[in-house]
Every structure is written in C-alpha cells, then in structure tokens.
Structure 1
Amino acid sequence: MPIVVRLDVMLALRKAKSKDLAHYVGITETNLSLMKSGRVKGVRFETLEKICEFLDCQPGDLLTYEPEQGA
C-alpha cells in the first residue's frame, strides 16, 4: 500500500506510550494498533486531529506516500 503510517515513529520521537495516546483519543489500544500497522480503511478527521494534538505534530508527520515499485 503506498500510504505508510508513521504513528509508531512519532510515538517514539515524543517518548509517548500507545496506551496513553489511545486513552487521550478515545479509541481502544487494539484499534490504535491496527492504525499503526496500516490495516485500517480510513481515519476520521476528528481522530487524526486528536492524535496530532497529543503528539504535537502535523498530519503529514503521521502519513507518507511511497509509490509502489513497478506499479
């Protein structure tokens, strides 16, 4: 998939725990884990906003586009 989720990178840079982020955003740790692995079909802007607020970052810090080779 050409959209890469860098949520784990931002958590590490901010020295934050997934558990704390999930609680702040109001989602389960399981859903956050699915999001981190890129196995979700979409993310609500409200959720993205809360994640950015907690991590003090921009949406572009969390999502990158990396075209597939040979596509």
Structure 2
Amino acid sequence: MEDDTKDLYLFINSPGGGVIGGVGIYDTMQFVQPHVQTICMELAASMGSFILVGGEITKCLAFPQA
C-alpha cells in the first residue's frame, strides 16, 4: 500500500488541452488523500494553468524559466 502521507509531485509542461480531460485530472487531484504539489517546468497554458493551480494551495511552484 502506498504511503498516503507523502506528497505527490505533478510536473507540468503543457500548451493546454481538452476541458473534459483537464477537469478529470483536476478532480482526481482533489480526491486523492496525499497533497499534490504542482511544478511548472516551462509552460502551463490554458488547461495546463488550471491544473497547475489545482495543486495544494501552498505547494504550487514554477521553475525560473517558466
């Protein structure tokens, strides 16, 4: 069984995408027990930005070149 006290990390580099798929990812991030840390590697446009801000409120980060 996975340790649900350890944060999950989601690295994002996305020009966007479909709404249905993006909302599905967002809903899953809200549903899982561990906190989801989101990290923008380079680009988070459109639905990518929605997913980026869907992470734990104090754990959304971006690389300097993002």
**TM class, shorter-length:** under 0.3
TM-score by length of 2: 0.28
Relative contact order, higher structure (CA 8 A, sep 6+): 1
The answer to which structure has the higher helix fraction is 1
